[in-house]
Amino acid sequence: MINRKIAPPVNSVSIPDFLMPQKYTLSNGANVWYYNAPVSDISRISVIFHAGTIYESQKLQAFFTYQLLKQGSIQKSSQQVAELLDFYGSYTEMEVMKDFCCFTIYNLNKYAQEILQMVAELIESPGFYETDFEVYRKKQKQRFLVNMEKVSGMARNQFPSLLFGKDHPYGGETNYTDYDAIQLNDIKQFYNDAIKEKPFTVLVSGAVNNHLVEVIDNTLGKIKISALLKEISSDVFNVSDYKPKKNYLPKKEALQNAILIGVPLFNRKHPDYFPLMVANTLLGGYFGSRLMSNIREDKGYTYGIGSALATYKNNGYFIISTEVGSDVCADALKEIYIEIEKLCSRKVPEKELNVVKSYMLGDLLRDMDGPFALSDRFKNMYINNLPDTYYPNFAEAIKNVNSDEILRVSQRYLTVENLTELVVGKK
Amino acid sequence: MIEFNKHTLSNGLKVISHFDNTSPIVAVNLLYDVGARDENPEKTGFAHLFEHLMFGGSVNVPHFDEELQQAGGENNAFTSNDITNYYETLPLENIETALWLESDRMLSLAFTPKSLEVQRNVVVEEFKQRYLNQPYGDAWLLLRPLAYKVHPYRWATIGKEISHIENATMQDVKDFFFTHYRPNNAILCVAGNIQPEKVFALAEKWFGSIPKGEIKTRNLLPEPKQTKAHRLEVERDVPADAIYIALHMCNRTHPNYQAFDLLSDVLSRGESSRFFQNLVKEKQLFSEISAYVSGDIDNGLFIINGRLSAGVKPEEGEKEIWNELQKISENGIDANELTKVKNKVVSGILFSHVNVLNKAMTLAYSELLGNANLINTETDLYLTVTTQDIQQRAAEIFIPKNASTLVYHSKKA
């Protein structure tokens, strides 16, 4: 008979080698990074453009440009593009980020030629048709209004400005009028300045065979690349004038209030990033975290609460986010700050630290579940401009970090006096 | 082709094993054949509340999450009207931790009053966050009782009302557990770099001694055929008017299911679909509109859901939706259109098979539907659908007296 009171022996998580993707260069000089895997004849191809929203001279410009770029080309109307994608069983995603944009295409390899030929046309000669623009604008306007009916939507829209400032490339909030202000010409201009003939990088994962390699070179490899994207000086990302704020936005009849608490920090290359990442996980980065254990599992104030270290190429921020019952908002805030105080004043017990370490190492393994996960991990390295040694170093840092180090970084970056707080809802 | 092996323990627990040596992660999925449809109409939301209580400690293990995280694992669960599904992903070498934890909470829960008290609050907050404090968040709370008058699909998994959750007692919890959370009412699936013999031996080791339960045959009253149109119009603080139309259709295992699914794709999957091209782009009546099937195990719903463009009256939008539906009932679709939606489905299925967790979930659910091998045969079920099938299915359900229509009027418009 098994003794259920005793846990089965737990093996310390061993991390396999960090497999780097293979690389080749297309005729036009663009690099392709790929993971080949024994899956059915499918592949996921991402084209990474190096101009994100930080290149905008006007709000929404990058977002609209990329979203419209994928709709139609000079050769094919948006209807033809949609027809072709759907007919060949392809899916596309456009992820517009602060520093980059990632255009992802899911292909059946047998139709890769047709699909990638069309993708190349979209990138090289987008149509930017008036009707598509108006239809898209209408939809986005309505989505914005729906989002602004949510306490979480209102909070997320305003928070970057509180951290970075309204005019900072990582700050700024969107207003309804921005959707009226943007014009097709602004979109064409963004394309001409930041995308057209500029270098891009390709990530491929799935069944990568010779045929697919050839197809990619015949299509994406033929896109003209002739000019470099102008670098944005790193000075503009400076947030040395940051001052913590407390802000409250009312929303009538809210049943729950959204709470965001955070502080601007650094990018993943900073020497304190790894230990702070462990401190963050401990505080709010997983289900067993202190915030979840206290605010949800002990008090029942919320359905969920979490914290994260978000990073950009040039800096990053720490954020706690939750939605709590409006009637218990003050109590929830009090408990959140108690947890932060605790993190900054007492060493974490060994047992708890070990759970966090095991969880984080397991998470590194989950990032290797299948070719798409591997490729996502590499994308992360690529867009954060990280060295090949990043993940092995991360794993080592998790294993070796001690409670003194966690206390040190918590005190340095997460003290209550330094945090900005935003509450949206009913007081 | 997804290879798998099946074995049933003497207590009735079904075990499925899928070998995949490309991932360092193993996925453990445990599906219980119980959902909101099994609830007492006076105590709705219980199956879902129960899912939360499953993390509140079991008879021998006080802290489920901590033990799993210590082994590098992560887990979650979801409840639908039909099933409650739990899963873990963790490093292969620690698979026994997941089996220990899952088997102990199948054996019995700790039933601590604190867990019940806290999780009642957590679920009430979930009710607010997902259903009440969101624009259009109450759509399903309104639409279900409009479409179903008899069958328990008439309430949502979160429950009919918050008071049902607030009033849940420990006796309710215990009764529910011993009625439904038995090995002979569950399907375990393990996917990863582990051989079937090993999976079956470990399943026997951890689950084999759990006594089987007496599982009552489900005896739900079928929803009678709808004979007249149902309609509800509400005013809400939403930015745009919206229309929801629910039409009764067959269940998930009926031979017509795939045709209905493809029919919904013809209407709205991708930007080349009829709804997008005709109603969003050309006539600009809707900013967004979609059609999909609920895929329930008992007779389900075919749903159409659209948000109207500013200045367009709901009647006008509704009329044009019906116009699109009638075009298919009367004229059918062409072969090319059918090939297109089939290709998209086939590709979607292939892409869903790339990680171990998805495969484990799909295998367990397919087994519940009758045979785990549905994961492999379903593609063919889609490919054999004809244009005639599509037209017949359309003619069968696209009739006003089969419809339940919910209209949101914006207070702001």
Residue identified by tokens 């799935």 is A206
Contact B91 A11 (CB under 8 A): yes
Could you tell me where the DSSP H helices lie in B253-383?
A: 257-268, 274, 314-331, 335-351, 356-369, 374-383
The confidence score (pLDDT) of residue A15 equals 81
The encoded tokens of residue A263 equal 């502080």
Q: Where are the domains of chain A?
A: 22-235, 242-425
Q: What is the pLDDT of residues A342-366, one digit of tens each?
A: 999 999 999 999 999 999 999 999 9
The encoded tokens of residue B405 equal 């229509």
What CATH number was assigned to the domain covering residues A22-235? 3.30.830.10
Q: What is the pLDDT of residues A218-267, one digit of tens each?
A: 999 999 999 899 989 888 898 888 999 999 999 988 999 999 999 999 99
The confidence score (pLDDT) of residue B413 equals 55
CB contacts under 8 A, A 68-87 vs B, are 71, 78-79, 82-83, 85-87
Q: Alpha-carbon dihedral of residues B65, B68, B73, B75, nearest 10 degrees?
A: -40
Q: Do domains A22-235 and A242-425 have the same CATH topology?
A: yes
For B330, how many CA atoms within 13 A lie in the half-sphere containing its CB?
7
Q: Are strands A31-36 and A200-206 parallel, antiparallel or unpaired?
A: parallel
C-alpha–C-alpha distance, residues B25 and B73, integer Å? 9
More confident residue, B85 or B353: B85
Q: What is the pLDDT of residues B7-55, one digit of tens each?
A: 999 999 999 999 999 889 999 999 999 999 999 999 999 999 999 999 9
Set of chain B residues whose Cβ sits within 8 Å of the Cβ of A71? 271
CA distance A365 to chain B (A): 6
The chain B residue lying nearest A43, using CA atoms, is B351
Contact A8 B97 (CB under 8 A): yes
The confidence score (pLDDT) of residue B117 equals 93
Return the residue in A77, A111, A154, A255 with the most chain B beta carbons within 10 A, the one to mutate for interface testing.
Answer: A255
Smallest Cβ–Cβ distance between A7 and the set B65, B97, B336 belongs to B97
List, as one string, the DSSP characters of B300-334.
Answer: -EEEEEEEEPTT--HHHHHHHHHHHHHHHHHH---
Relative orientation angle of helices B257-268 and B335-351, to the nearest 10 degrees: 100
The chain A residue lying nearest B280, using CA atoms, is A135
Contact B287 A138 (CB under 8 A): yes
C-alpha–C-alpha distance, residues B245 and B375, integer Å? 30
Set of chain A residues whose Cβ sits within 8 Å of the Cβ of B61? 4, 7
Relative orientation angle of helices A350-366 and A403-413, to the nearest 10 degrees: 80
Distances in Å between the alpha carbon of B16 and those of B80, B196, B353? 22, 8, 16
The confidence score (pLDDT) of residue A13 equals 83
The chain A residue lying nearest B268, using CA atoms, is A86
Task: Write down the pTM of the prediction.
Answer: 0.94
Class of domain A242-425: alpha beta
Return the residue in B109, B204, B271, B275 with the most chain A beta carbons within 10 A, the one to mutate for interface testing.
Answer: B271
Phi (first) and psi of residue B52, to 5 degrees? -65, -40
CA distance A368 to chain B (A): 7
Set of chain A residues whose Cβ sits within 8 Å of the Cβ of B71? 10, 358, 362
Contact B74 A286 (CB under 8 A): yes
Task: Tell me what the pLDDT averaged over chain B comes to.
Answer: 96
Smallest Cβ–Cβ distance between B69 and the set A89, A143, A355 belongs to A355
Q: What is the pLDDT of residues B242-288, one digit of tens each?
A: 999 999 999 999 999 999 999 999 999 999 999 999 999 999 999 99
C-alpha–C-alpha distance, residues A123 and B184, integer Å? 56
- Give the residues across from A33 on adjacent strands: A23, A203
Computed on alpha carbons and rounded to an integer, the radius of gyration of chain A in Å comes to 24
Set of chain B residues whose Cβ sits within 8 Å of the Cβ of A302? 122, 125
C-alpha–C-alpha distance, residues B134 and A147, integer Å? 9
The encoded tokens of residue A29 equal 């000089």
CA distance A228 to chain B (A): 34
Contact A2 B307 (CB under 8 A): no
